[in-house]
Amino acid sequence: MPLVPIEQILDKADSKYRLVIIAAKRSKQVSRGSPPLVHH
């Protein structure tokens, strides 16, 4: 997985805390069987 600068990601969310929450929720979705949104 490529590393993306935090400044670039913060354009999508209002804070680092919010990014962690979003990532955790998506991680749960994938672990419960949701298909990945990216191809690697």
pLDDT at 1 over 70: no
Domain limits, the chain? 1-31
The pLDDT of 11-30, averaged and rounded, is 91
**pLDDT at 11 (0 to 100):** 85
Q: Which strand (E) or helix (H) includes residue 7?
A: helix 6-9
pLDDT at 2 over 80: no
pTM across the whole model: 0.67
CA distance 14 to 6: 12
In a 13 Å sphere around the CA of 38, the CA atoms on its Cβ side amount to 5
Q: Which strand (E) or helix (H) includes residue 35?
A: none
